[in-house]
């Protein structure tokens, strides 16, 4: 399986703190994406980083990519209770034709 | 746009019965995906279509599972006969590109319980 790994599996923080989630992938990628899933809902696309990029920002989100380590991190700054959700990374692998393979996810709980 | 629409939201059926899940993708999206989510296995890609043609069904677990896309605005995932281990949340997603340069758009899912 090329399913990547995410850590931590669960993260609990206070409102206002920063949350960092990590994702590792297996082989060469076209891009890596992050999604959020609220309880009982579908996944929502947050941000995409291409294999030739090292860092991207979108609002309070910052994503980094280290292709030498085959890893990515998602940082949520100044977290809010509404950020409570599961976060998934998804890799678009060259050898899989580019289809997205999702990691197991990180469950984030932000306490008010 | 109403997004990707899935029906039903919840389905409870008895073992051995046929189950049909439905999906309406976003207009203009050429790719349609069926994923299954369980606690044990996470989010698995079952099959995807490009312009209504099945391209990769390597994730379909068994012959009991079948998927069709008769036109650009409708797809079904059928399980016959259903088994308790098929209990999961099934998601449909659509995209303009396979690599998801604009992301995949997911429906709200169908929670299937087979008793």
Residue A94's pLDDT band, with cuts at 50, 70 and 90, is confident
**Chain B residues with beta carbon closer than 8 angstroms to that of A31:** 99-101
* Of the candidates A68, A8, A99, the residue with the CA atom closest to the CA atom of residue B44: A99
- Contacts with A45 from chain B: Cβ below 8 Å: 100, 102-105
Give the pLDDT mean for A97-112.
92
Could you tell me what percent of chain A has a pLDDT over 70? 97
Contact A31 B101 (CB under 8 A): yes
How many CA atoms lie within 13 Å of A21's alpha carbon, on the beta-carbon side? 29
Kindly give the parts of chain B with pLDDT less than 50.
none
| Angstrom distance (rounded) from CA B26 to CA B21 | 17
Among A43, A47, A85, A104, pick the best mutation site for testing chain B contact (most B Cβ within 10 A): A43
Q: Which residue has the tokens 């929502």?
A: A44
Q: Residue A82 and residue B95: Cα distance in Å, rounded? A: 26
Query: Mean pLDDT across chain A, nearest whole number?
Result: 94
Per-residue confidence (pLDDT) for residue A6, from 0 to 100: 87
Of the two residues B1 and A78, the one the predictor is more confident about is A78
Q: Is A1 a residue whose pLDDT tops 70?
A: no
Across the range A51-76, mean pLDDT stands at 97
- On the question of pLDDT at A2 being above 70, the answer is no
pLDDT at residue number A35? 97
Under DSSP, is residue B114 helix (H, G, I), strand (E, B) or coil? Answer: strand
Contact B108/A98, CB-based, under 8 Å?
A: no
Contact A18, A80 (CB under 8 A): no
Structure tokens at A49: 């980083």
Better-scored residue on pLDDT, A56 or B98: A56
């Amino acid at each position: 399986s090329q399913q990547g790994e995410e850590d931590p599996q669960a993260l609990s923080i206070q409102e206002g703190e920063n949350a960092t989630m990590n994702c590792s992938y297996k082989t060469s990628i076209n891009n890596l994406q992050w999604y959020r899933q609220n309880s009982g809902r579908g996944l929502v696309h947050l941000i995409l980083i291409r294999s030739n990029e090292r860092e991207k920002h979108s609002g309070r989100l910052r994503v980094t990519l280290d292709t030498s380590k085959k890893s990515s991190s998602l940082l949520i700054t100044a977290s809010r209770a509404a950020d409570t959700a599961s976060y998934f990374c998804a890799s678009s692998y060259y050898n899989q034709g580019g289809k997205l393979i999702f990691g197991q996810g990180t469950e984030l709980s932000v306490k008010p | 746009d109403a997004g990707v629409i899935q029906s039903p939201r919840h389905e409870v059926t008895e073992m051995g019965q046929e189950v049909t899940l439905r999906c309406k993708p976003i207009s203009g999206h050429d790719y349609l995906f069926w994923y299954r989510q369980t606690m044990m296995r996470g989010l698995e890609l079952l099959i995807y279509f490009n312009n209504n043609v099945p391209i990769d069904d390597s994730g379909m677990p068994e012959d009991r599972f079948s998927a069709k896309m008769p036109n650009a605005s409708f797809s079904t995932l059928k399980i016959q006969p259903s088994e308790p281990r098929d209990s999961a949340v099934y998601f449909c997603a659509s995209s303009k590109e396979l690599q998801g340069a604009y992301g995949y758009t997911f429906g709200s899912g169908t929670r299937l319980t087979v008793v």
